[in-house]
Structure 1
Amino acid sequence: MPLPSPDAPTLRATAADFDTLRDNLPVFSDPLSTLDSHTIADQLSELSVLINYMADEILFRTVDRKRSGDPAPAIAGFAAAVRPACEAATALASVAHRLSNLEQAGQQHDESGAPGYDRLVMGNALAKADKALRATADSLRHAAVTPSPEAARTQAARHRSAAGAPGSFPPPAAPQAVSTTRTARGR
């Protein structure tokens, strides 16, 4: 059984924050879901705060080497989660941009017929943001259960000591004779 990272609670809490953000995304097909530039901008702002938090956690763990335990798994976990979080931010930004353009066009009474296409594009972007936020949270949860190299070494040592116990494994086979003739390759 893998030993969890000492940073597992922080990684899991951050994953939960991404899950909450994902749960609060507007659902494009739901008529009760609010989809306006303010709502999307608010979601984008919250996502930016979480991305900044992960970057700060990476920096903190990189600079503060006096911490107990190995910071590498948490650094790797947060770093891996930044990519899908940024993909979600890009998708939300495209929705905010498109909504802003539609709201501006609506103020100018522009009846161009583009809203059907825009709705499809925004629905796809929201689906992409949802998928990327799920990937971010899953990545953080995975990092929380991945054992640190220090824990993996401890676990391997326990396994080796148990393997050396009498009667646990058959004795190793006798080594086979190694051929002393080698074929020289041209240089």
Structure 2
Amino acid sequence: MNKDVLADALAIRAMASAFDAQRGKLPVPGDPHRLPSNVAVAQQISELGKLISELGDEVLFRTVNKSPGSATFRAVSSFSAAVRPVGEAASALGEVAEQLVFLEQTEHLHDRPDAQDARKAAGRVIDEMLGTAYTALREAGDSLHAASTAVSPPSSRFRAALGRTTTPSRPTALAVPAPATTPTVPAARIVRSR
């Protein structure tokens, strides 16, 4: 396997894992007694900003250093496509931070009916934006995981291992289809791979 292709696949997988980790750090929406802290949300916005910058660096590096006929176009496309959902997640968390500031500023007004309605609305916005951030980070991670497999498909050994089972045969979601074409080798010639 081409070492550049392997490097691209590993870089894409690492970035996908970073977005999965960010998704795991998101506060759980729907609990009015456990609002996320302003500090935690600000840290996550900062971390997403760094990841967006890393995506840009990956695109720039591969765009500047690509060799003619290289397979890096798929990696460039994958990193570029992840910017949008990660930007959406950061934007949603920015809205969460704004609503948290509003709740802090109106804490002393919690007995007034008009303030209660506005504070409840802020809680709903927080829940919605946390859901938006979660979905966007899942989209970014899933697309990068798929791209890493497309850039560097599983080896024939891995596909064979997936095909072996000790249970009765039935289709599974993990089965990887065999390549559409298999290379043909003349009968008189022996080919060895490294």
Establish whether TM, by shorter chain, passes 0.5: yes
Q: Aligned runs of 1:17-166 on 2, under 5 Å? A: 17-30=18-31, 35-66=36-67, 69-106=70-107, 109-111=108-110, 112-113=115-116, 114-147=118-151, 159=182, 161-162=183-184
Q: In structure 1, how many angstroms separate the alpha carbons of the residues matched to 2:25 and 2:63?
A: 32
**Conserved? CA contact 2:32–2:123, under 8 Å:** no
**Quick one: which amino acid aligns to residue 12 of structure 2?**
L
Contact kept, 8 Å, 1:5 with 1:73, in 2: the verdict is no
Higher relative contact order (CA 8 A, sep 6+): 1
| AA in 2 matched with 1:138 | D
Q: What secondary structure, in the 3-state scheme, does the structure 2 residue paired with 1:143 have?
A: helix
Q: CA deviation at 1:16?
A: 0.6
- CA spacing shift, 1:36–1:52, aligned 2, 3 Å: same
The CA deviation string for residues 70-91 of structure 1, in whole angstroms up to 9 with x for no partner, is 2111100001111111111111
- Cα distance, 1:101 vs. partner? 1.8
CA contact (8 A) 2:93 2:129 kept: yes
C-alpha separation between the residues in 2 aligned to 1:48 and 1:145?
26
Contact 1:5 1:145 in 2 (8 A): no
Matched AA of 2:14: A
Count how many residue pairs are aligned between Structure 1 and Structure 2: 152
C-alpha distance in 2 between matches for 1:90 and 1:122? 12
Query: Which structure is larger by alpha-carbon Rg, 1 or 2?
Result: 1
Shift of 1:136: 0.4
Q: What per-residue deviation string (whole Å, max 9, x for no partner) do you get for residues 73-127 of structure 1?
A: 1100001111111111111111111111221222xx2331122111111101101
Q: Which runs of 5+ in 2 are unaligned?
A: 153-178, 188-194
Q: Matched residues, percent identical?
A: 39
Counterpart AA for 1:19: D
- Tell me the TM-score normalized by structure 2: 0.69
Q: Give the unaligned 5+ runs of structure 1.
A: 149-154, 166-187
* Residue of structure 2 in register with 1:184 after alignment: none
Tell me: CA distance 1:33–1:146, structure 2 relative to 1, closer, same or farther (3 Å): farther
Letter in 2 for 1:89: A
